[in-house]
Amino acid sequence: MTANAKHPDDMTTAVLLPGNMCDARLWAGAGGVILDIFVSRGLKVCHADLSRAASVADMASDTLARMHGPLLPIGFSMGGIVALEMARQAPGRIVGLVLADTNAGADLPERAAVRPGQQARVRNGALATIIADELKPAYLAPANRENADLKTLLFDMAMQLGDDVFCAQSEALRTRGDGGPVLDDFPGPILLLAGSEDALCPPAWHQAMAERAIRPTLRVIEGAGHMLPLEQPAAFAAALAAWIDLNPELQA
Q: What is the pLDDT of residues 219-243, one digit of tens each?
A: 999 999 999 999 999 999 999 999 9
**Residue 7: predicted pLDDT:** 53
What does the chain come to in residues?
252
Residue 55: DSSP 8-state: S
Can you state the percent helix, strand and coil of the chain, rounding each to 5? 55, 15, 30
- Burial grade of 127 (CB within 10 A; 0-12, 13-18, 19 or more): buried
Each residue of 81-103: pLDDT tens digit? 999 999 999 999 999 999 999 99
Which neighbouring-strand residues pair with 195? 221
Q: pTM value?
A: 0.95
Q: Identify whether the C-beta of residue 136 lies closer than 8 Å to the C-beta of residue 155.
A: yes
Q: Note the pLDDT of residue 132.
A: 86
Task: Judge whether 69 and 93 are in contact, CB under 8 Å.
Answer: yes
Fill in the amino acid letter for 128. A
Give 8-105+178-251's CATH code, choosing from 3.40.50.1100, 3.40.50.1820, 1.10.10.10, 3.30.470.20: 3.40.50.1820
Per-residue model confidence as pLDDT tens digits over 112-158? 999 999 999 999 999 999 988 876 668 999 999 989 999 999 999 99
**For the chain, domain boundaries:** 8-105+178-251, 109-171
Residues 6+ apart with CB under 8 A from 11: 42, 43, 44, 69, 70
**For residue 192, what are the contacts with CB-CB under 8 A and spacing of at least 6?**
99, 100, 206, 209, 210, 213, 216, 217, 218, 219
